[in-house]
Amino acid sequence: MERSTQVVRNGVVGSLRTIAVLLGVVCAALVAAHPATAGGACRPPLYTIDLRPLGASAAGSGTARLEPAATPFGMALTPDGHVIYAVQITLTGMPPASAMGGTQYVAWAVSPNLDRGDRLGTIAADGTAHGQISMNKFLIIVTAEPATVGPRWSNHVVLRGFSPSTFLQNFANEELFQGGMPPC
């Protein structure tokens, strides 16, 4: 009876090892085949935000790639517990900023209700900007700004993109969807 139990136990352990090896091979193949992993980057598409133009006449597009911010402590957090992301913005096909009413393009991280806007950076000549975001839900907007940029954007939005967590918002609790109007 002891011998048969040992054979079954070894058979189960061997099968589990085989399954684990096969899963590892399949996962490695999927990661290697995924376009977001080119160049050694291993971030799922969830961490890449598409920046799309507004309006039919708008041109250009871009992406914002989120990475965990560098820290010696494992995960960078604000004092109130929000994760800090390093963001790299890359724009392509943008017309000159003067065609959009400004002298330069500036990227911003904005809260969903637009009450907070953090400047991520000015878009460089190569179409890139780097910054940090410390909000759970946010939009990334790109505006064409004048030569001096204030603490808040002052021109119309040229490109916009939504953080993955923004799509998880429950609109059923919004007052307009409950038959009411917001208080004046």
Q: Both 47 and 18 in a single domain?
A: no
On the question of pLDDT at 118 being above 60, the answer is yes
Handedness of CA 158, 161, 166, 167 (dihedral sign): positive
Residues 86 and 109 in one domain: yes
112 and 25 within one domain: no
Q: 85: how many CB neighbours lie within 10 A of its CB?
A: 21
Domain assignment of residue 17, given as a range: 2-33
Please give the Cα distance from 127 to 122 (Å, whole number).
9
Query: Does 182 map to a domain?
Result: no
pLDDT value at position 87?
95
Residues 11 and 61 in one domain: no
Same domain, yes or no: 67 and 145 = yes
Question: What is the rounded average pLDDT for all residues in the chain?
Answer: 76
So what's the pLDDT on residue 179?
60
Give the pairing type, strands 61-68 and 48-53: antiparallel
Task: Please give the pLDDT value at position 35.
Answer: 46
Q: Kindly state whether residues 165 and 81 are assigned to the same domain.
A: yes
Confidence check: pLDDT of 67 > 70: yes
163: left (phi over 0), alpha (psi -120 to 50) or beta: beta
More confident residue, 156 or 110: 110
Query: How confident is the model at residue 108, as a pLDDT?
Result: 93
pLDDT at 57: 59
- Residues 77 and 10 occupy one common structural domain: no
